[in-house]
């Protein structure tokens, strides 16, 4: 449910109230419970929704350099434009600490993400570049960028970090556009 997603982005899991979700879409609480038997079920649905949206940033065709460029471009866009997705991702990662099922999902996504990046970097053919380590660095940095407080500062930091990515990978600025 998109309404639940929005509420989590705004107030976190801590502030998720089924009554408010129901009210936001103009239905009765009991009706919400009819579709989602429990709050937990609603949360699971939100998790699935978030994960799916996140996966859609992965490109599937083109040369490694092209794919990397497109991917970085997509991520930077997502970071700047859809703050709510990252807010929810942050909440999910934190919640995963207490929720084994969620932890499993998050770990799996991290692995896929890392493998994909490592693969692309390796196929770039840059000698002296440890694909595994660089992928780890990039993922850590992107995760870190998803924990903003002031949106104003955020934008500058994103540019700086992605500039370093390109520098590390030997990608030209123009390759991103």
Partner DNA sequence: AATGAATGAGAGTTCATTCAT
Partner DNA sequence: AATGAATGAACTCTCATTCAT
- Is the CB of residue 64 less than 8 Å from the CB of residue 123? yes
- Closer to a second copy by Cβ: residue 10 or 55: 10
Q: Which of 6, 23, 24, 27 binds DNA (CB under 7 A)?
A: 27
3 state DSSP class of 154:
helix
Answer for which of 1, 6, 23, 29 binds DNA (CB under 7 A) is 29
Number of residues that bind a second copy (CB under 8 A): 46
- Asked if 28 interacts with DNA (CB under 7 A), we say yes
- Residue carrying structure tokens 């989590």: 8
Q: Residue 61: which region, alpha, beta or left (left: phi > 0; alpha: psi -120 to 50)?
A: beta
Q: 17-40 burial, b if ≥16 CB within 10 A, otherwise e?
A: ebeebbeeeeeeeeebeeebeebe
List residues near DNA by CB under 7 A: 16-20, 27-31, 33-35, 37-40
Binding site for a second copy (CB under 8 A): 10-15, 87, 90-91, 93-98, 103, 106-107, 110, 130, 132-134, 136-137, 139-147, 149-150, 153, 156-157, 160-161, 163-165, 167-168
């Amino acid at each position: 449910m998109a309404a639940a997603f929005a509420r989590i982005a705004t107030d976190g899991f801590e502030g998720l109230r089924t009554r408010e979700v129901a009210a936001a879409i103009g239905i009765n609480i009991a009706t919400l419970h009819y579709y989602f038997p429990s709050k937990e079920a609603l949360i699971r649905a939100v998790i699935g929704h978030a994960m799916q949206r996140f996966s859609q940033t992965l490109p599937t065709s083109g040369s490694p350099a092209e794919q990397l460029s497109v991917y970085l471009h997509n991520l930077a866009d997502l970071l700047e434009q859809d703050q709510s997705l990252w807010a929810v991702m942050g909440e999910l990662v934190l919640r995963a600490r207490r929720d084994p099922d969620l932890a499993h999902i998050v770990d799996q996504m991290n692995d896929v993400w890392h493998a994909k990046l490592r693969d692309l970097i390796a196929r770039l053919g840059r000698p002296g570049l440890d694909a595994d380590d660089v992928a780890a660095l990039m993922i850590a940095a992107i995760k870190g960028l998803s924990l903003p407080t002031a949106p104003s500062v955020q934008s500058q930091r994103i540019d700086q970090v992605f500039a370093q990515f390109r520098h590390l990978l030997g990608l030209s600025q123009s390759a991103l556009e």
